[in-house]
Structure 1
Amino acid sequence: MPISRVTKLYSVQDAKIAPLTADPAGGAATYGALIDVPGIQEMAISGDVEVKTLRGDNVKLASNSAITNIQVAVTHAKLSLDVLAAILGGTVTDSGTGAAEVSTWDLTGTNATLPPFKLEGVTPPDGVDIVGGDLHWILHKLKLSSFPDVGFANEDFRVVSFTADADPLLANGKWISAVLNETAAAIA
C-alpha cells in the first residue's frame, strides 16, 4: 500500500545548492558538488499564474490559466562565500597561512555570471505525518531574481537571504519536485 500523499510540514532542517553544469535537451541534467546553505531558516516557494479570459456577447465565455513563474525566497543564518559564488558568480580565493589565513570572495563585471543552480531543502525527521519520514522540496533550475540581502546589522545578528526564479529543465521539463519519504533521507 502506498504512503499517504497528505502531510503536515514542520520546519526546515537542511538545505543545499548545487551548480547546474549541464542541461541538454532530452538528456540528463548534471550538477556540481553540493554546497550547504548554512543555518537555513526559511524556504518559501510561491508562483505566478496568468489568467486569460475570453468574453463575448457581454458574458464570460471561457478562461485559461498558465503558470508563468515559480519563485523561492531563502533565509539563512550564516554567510557562505561558496554559496555566493554558486548563485552570483565570482571567485573565492584562499591565501595566507597560520593566523594570517584569508578567504576572499570577489565579484567583478566579468565574473558576475548569475549561474543556474539547484536548491533542495528538507524537513527534520518527523517533520511530516509519517513517523520517521521527511519531505524534500527540490527546485531543479534556479537563477537569482534579485541581489542577495547581505551586510551588517547594528548590535544584532545579520541574516542572509536571496530570491530566485525557477526555469524548467531542458532535460526533462521539471521545475519543482516534492519528495515525501517514508524513511528520512539526507540531501544527496
Structure 2
Amino acid sequence: MSDSNGTAAGTSGSDGAKVVGVRDQDEVNAETKKVSSELYDLIAVKGTASKAGAGVRSCEGLDREKFYTMFHPWSLSATTDDELAQAMERLKAELPKHGWKIVKYGPDGSPAKSLELTADNDERKFGVHVSFWKARTVLGKPKPPMLMIDVVSGCYQVPDGQKVEHY
C-alpha cells in the first residue's frame, strides 16, 4: 500500500497518484488519530509521547482542492534502548495479527543503521513507518532512545461540494 512517496496506495489516479475512495476529511482525520492510538497501545512502552497532531497534504499530481492524504508524525521516548528494541519486535509480531502487512523490517541506510519497520493495512488504507533511534549524544547533550512514528492514510477525494481544508 505504500508508494514511493511513503503514502498509502489504492487505485490509480492521473499522474500515478493513488486514490482509495471518497471520504469526508474529518472522518479520515479521526481514523488517522485512532490508528496512531492503536499503534501506541501495541508499542506498550510507558514513555513520553510527542503531542504533534495530524495534518493534511495534497496527493501528488492531483487537484489539491479535491484530493488529500492525512498524516500523523509522532515520537515516543523511553528510558532504555532495550525497551524500544523489544517494542519493535512486538510491533513486528503483533501488527500482522491486526491486519497489517510488514513491508520492511531491518536496519536503514544511515551510518547508525537504525532499525526501521514499514507496514501497510490495505483494508483500512493506512501505512506506518517506525524508526528506532538509540540513545545518543547530539551537540554534547544526551538524547534518550526514541521511536519515530509516521502514520499516513491513502489518498482520498472529498465528497462533491466540499474542498480540502489544508492545515
Task: Give the shorter-chain TM-score range.
Answer: 0.3 to 0.5
The structure with more radius of gyration: 1
Task: Please state which structure has a larger fraction of its residues in helix.
Answer: 2
TM-score, structure 1 normalization: 0.31
Question: Relative contact order (C-alpha < 8 Å, sep 6+): which is higher?
Answer: 2
Tell me the TM-score normalised to structure 2 length. Answer: 0.34
Larger proportion of strand: 1
